[in-house]
Amino acid sequence: MDFITPELPQQLLANGGASRDNPHFDPHPVVKWFSPCGVATWLITESDPDDQDTAYGLGDLGMGSPELGHVSVRELMSIRLMRGTLGIERDMHWKANKPLSAYARLARLAGRIVD
C-alpha cells in the first residue's frame, strides 16, 4: 500500500499555498493516515510549500486530546510497529466529507477523531 501516491503531494502543496494566501482557508483533509495496530490517526490537509516534509492537519494519538498541528511526513513513514513488520498506513477507502475545522470541532467534543 502506498503511504503517499503521486497525486497526494500535488494536492497537499496546493492546499499549503492556498492556506498561506488565505488565513480563512478551511480545506477538506486530503489523506487519512493511521496506525494499523493502535488508535493513532492523522487527517492531513496540506504540506508546507517551503518544506514538503512538514504536513498540517488533525492528529490523534489516542490519549483523549486530538489537536491541530504540524507533523513530519518522514517521521510518520519511519515508524515501525510489531517488531518492524508494520508501519503507518493510508486509509485508501476514506474520503473527507467536511472541512478540517469540522473534524477538529467534533474530535474535541468526542476526545478522538470521529467521522
63-102 confidence digits (pLDDT tens): 999 999 999 999 998 988 878 788 899 999 999 999 999 9
* Percent of the chain whose pLDDT exceeds 90: 78
Q: With 80 as the cut, is the pLDDT of residue 2 above it?
A: no
* pLDDT at residue number 115: 83
**How many structural domains compose the chain?**
1
Domain that holds residue 17: 7-107
Look at residue 113 and tell me if it is in a domain. no
Look at residue 82 and tell me if it is in a domain. yes
Look at residue 19 and tell me if it is in a domain. yes
Look at residue 112 and tell me if it is in a domain. no
* pLDDT at residue number 59: 97
Q: Are 42 and 94 in contact (CB under 8 A)?
A: no
pLDDT bucket at 24, cuts 50 / 70 / 90 = very high
Look at residue 115 and tell me if it is in a domain. no
Residue carrying the nine cell digits 466529507:
97
* pLDDT at residue number 81: 82
- Supply 3's cell numbers: 503511504
Q: Are 59 and 72 in contact (CB under 8 A)?
A: no
Look at residue 114 and tell me if it is in a domain. no
Look at residue 2 and tell me if it is in a domain. no
pLDDT bucket at 42, cuts 50 / 70 / 90 = very high
Q: What is the pTM of this model?
A: 0.92
Look at residue 1 and tell me if it is in a domain. no
Q: With 70 as the cut, is the pLDDT of residue 62 above it?
A: yes
Residue carrying the nine cell digits 492546499:
15
Mean pLDDT of the region 13-42: 95
